[in-house]
Structures are given as structure tokens and as C-alpha cells.
């Protein structure tokens, strides 16, 4: 993982022993994380080959059990109705062999869209609510996904509940999910109101980045990846609460990362 997460809530020293808290700061809870190859200077070719996966964490609130008897639990749709998607665009040669150009500093957009390593797969769903976890697995392309009918003439709303593994301050109704590389989005889609046999398409409609002037709602919670366009800057609050050590930070256009766009925070006493 890009950030060090020892599977306990951060803020141990402040919260441990405080009545009502077991360990750490509950605001530091995380859910949808991912891990990937991080070979120095060669992250992009390796992640492009598929060396990436989800790392899901659960707690009392987001317990992974939609029948949880705990009254505090959110009872979000749980396995097998909790489904993960890694999106990666890829390019193949005439023989069907995966290709990658290491010389292009901006990266080569793929012409084949894959989900969990398969080109344009189909997921059969039941007529009920699903938790869908989206991850932009890179290496370069951004996405703005819409859930549409097969003709692309209607798009459907859903509930956006978490970004980068952090539950949003409140769930919000939305109709698109825009994710930069390494960014994650958890949405809840209710397929319950549709007739049996209905087909949907998840389509990317992002043609080019727009120049955002305000922080979009899904970026107003805690995050670990920030989308920056040309000439944009961002101020972020970083806190190193528990552990000394080395924390890298890098451009998550993986090709840029491999071209030395990486820095390191060394946290000392």
C-alpha cells in the first residue's frame, strides 16, 4: 500500500484507554484500500500487467454483514452483493499480446477497457441493492462512469457512500463517478426496481479533464489520492500520529511516478 496502515486505527496514544473507545481514533477508519506492485521506477509496467488487488477492511460500523444485529452497523450490501471492480485500459498487438511503451512519458491510453483483467465483462445481478467498489487501477487514464441503459439514452442514479476507503460524511445521490488513478469510489446501486432481464452498461464518458474551480462533493471527505489538473495546486493536511519512518508520496499517474515524480517524508522524533 502507498500509505502505511497497520490495521489499527491511528491515534492510539490519544484514544487508548479513553472510555467508550477501544483503540485509536474512530475517525481514522478505512474500508476500501488496494495494494499493488511498487517497484521503484517500474510501477506502471507491473501494475499494467495486473499486479494489483483490493484490500478491504471492516469494522463495527461497516461490518460487511447486511444482517448485522448490531444497531450501530450500517448493514450495507455484503458479500456476494459487495462487488469490486478494478478498471484498467490496455493495449494489445495483432497477436493479442499485451503491449506497453515505456518511452512515452504521458503513458499510452489503452483501447481495450478491462474490469478485473477481463475485457468488457458482464456481471449478472439480482433484483436488489449492491455495493459496488470501483478502483481506477491506472496506469494513466481518468474515468467518469455513468450507469446507463443499453441504448445510452438514460442514466440512473445511485448512492455514493465512500471515496478512497473513507465513508463520506453523509451518503449522497449521484449519477456519475469520476476517479483518477488509484482513486476509489464505493456506490450502492438498487437494481430492485427493474424488470428481470434488464441490461445496463457502465460507460466512461470522460473525454478530457475540465478545469474545476471548486472541490467536488465526493472529494470533501478524507482522501489519500487527489486529482490535480494542469496548473492546479492543492493544500492537503497530513498527520503522522503514531509512527516514525519513511512515507513516500508520488504522482499516481504511474508512468509519471516511474519518471521520478516521487518524494519522501521522513518522520523523525
Q: Closest CB to another protein among 91 and 129?
A: 91
Q: How many residues does the chain have?
A: 269
Stretch that binds another protein, among 20-28, 41-49, 61-69, 207-215 (CB under 8 A): 41-49
Calculate the CA dihedral of residues 31, 28, 250, 47 and round it to 10 degrees: -20
Q: Is 246 in the site for another protein (CB under 8 A)?
A: yes
Which residues, 6 or more positions from 24, have their beta carbon under 8 angstroms from its beta carbon? 8, 9, 10, 11, 12, 15, 16
Q: Which of 6, 264, 268, 269 binds another protein (CB under 8 A)?
A: 264
**Region binding another protein by CB under 8 A among candidate stretches 42-50, 57-65, 71-79, 119-127:** 42-50
**Min. distance of Cβ 39 from another protein in angstroms?**
8
Q: What is the distance, to the nearest Å, from the Cα of residue 182 to the centroid of all Cα atoms in its chain?
A: 6
Q: Are strands 176-179 and 143-149 parallel, antiparallel or unpaired?
A: antiparallel
Q: Which value, in Å, is the radius of gyration of the alpha carbons in the chain?
A: 19
Quick one: 23 or 260, whose CB is closer to another protein?
260
Q: State in angstroms the smallest separation of the CB of 165 from another protein.
A: 24
Binding to another protein, residues 21-40 (CB under 8 A): 38-40
How far apart are alpha carbons 148 and 114 in whole angstroms?
18
Least distance (Å) between residue 96 CB and another protein: 9
Nearest CA to 155 out of 168, 144, 146 is that of 146
Name the helix (H) or strand (E) containing 267: strand 262-267
Q: Minimum Å distance from CB 50 to another protein? A: 9
Q: How far apart are CA 107 and CA 256, in angstroms?
A: 8
For residue 11, CA distances in Å to 14, 57, 224, 268 come to 5, 18, 17, 17
Tell me the closest approach of the beta carbon of residue 141 to another protein, in angstroms: 14
Q: Taking CB under 8 A as the rule, does residue 232 contact another protein?
A: no
Positions in 70-129 near another protein (CB under 8 A): 91, 93, 95, 97-106, 108
Q: Is 267 in the site for another protein (CB under 8 A)?
A: no
Tell me the CB-side half-sphere exposure of residue 112, using CA atoms within 13 A.
Answer: 18
Residue that is written with C-alpha cell 494489445 in the block: 92
In the set 24, 29, 46, 186, which binds another protein (CB under 8 A)?
46
Residues 171-230 that bind another protein (CB under 8 A): none
Q: How far is the CB of 35 from another protein (least distance, A)?
A: 15
User: How near is the Cβ of 208 to another protein at its closest, in Å?
Assistant: 12
Q: Which residues bind another protein (CB under 8 A)?
A: 38-42, 45-46, 49, 91, 93, 95, 97-106, 108, 246, 248, 258-260, 264
Amino acid at each position: 500500500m502507498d500509505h502505511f496502515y497497520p490495521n489499527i486505527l491511528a491515534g492510539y496514544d490519544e484514544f487508548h484507554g479513553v472510555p467508550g473507545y477501544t483503540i485509536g481514533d474512530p475517525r481514522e477508519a478505512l474500508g476500501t484500500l488496494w495494494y499493488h506492485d511498487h517497484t521503484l521506477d517500474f510501477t506502471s509496467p507491473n501494475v499494467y500487467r495486473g499486479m494489483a488487488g483490493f484490500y478491504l477492511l471492516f469494522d463495527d460500523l461497516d461490518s460487511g454483514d447486511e444482517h448485522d444485529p448490531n444497531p450501530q452497523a450500517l448493514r450495507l450490501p455484503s458479500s456476494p452483493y459487495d462487488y469490486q471492480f478494478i478498471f484498467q485500459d490496455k493495449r494489445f498487438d495483432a497477436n493479442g499480446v499485451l503491449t506497453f511503451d515505456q518511452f512515452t512519458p504521458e503513458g499510452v491510453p489503452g483501447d481495450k477497457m478491462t474490469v478485473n483483467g477481463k475485457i468488457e465483462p458482464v456481471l449478472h445481478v439480482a433484483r436488489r441493492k449492491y455495493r459496488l467498489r470501483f478502483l481506477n487501477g491506472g496506469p494513466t487514464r481518468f474515468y467518469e462512469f455513468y450507469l446507463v441503459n443499453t441504448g445510452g439514452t438514460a442514466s440512473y442514479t445511485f448512492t455514493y457512500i465512500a471515496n478512497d476507503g473513507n465513508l463520506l460524511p453523509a451518503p449522497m445521490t449521484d449519477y456519475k463517478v469520476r476517479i483518477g488513478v488509484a482513486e476509489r469510489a464505493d456506490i450502492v446501486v438498487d437494481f430492485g426496481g427493474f424488470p428481470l432481464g434488464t441490461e445496463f452498461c457502465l460507460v466512461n464518458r470522460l473525454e478530457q479533464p475540465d478545469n474545476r474551480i471548486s472541490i467536488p462533493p465526493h472529494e470533501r471527505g478524507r482522501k489519500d489520492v487527489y486529482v490535480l489538473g494542469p496548473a492546479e495546486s492543492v493544500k492537503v493536511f497530513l498527520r503522522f500520529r503514531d509512527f516514525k519512518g519513511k512515507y513516500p508520496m508520488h504522482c499516481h499517474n504511474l508512468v509519471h511516478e516511474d519518471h521520478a515524480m516521487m518524494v519522501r517524508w521522513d518522520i523523525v522524533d
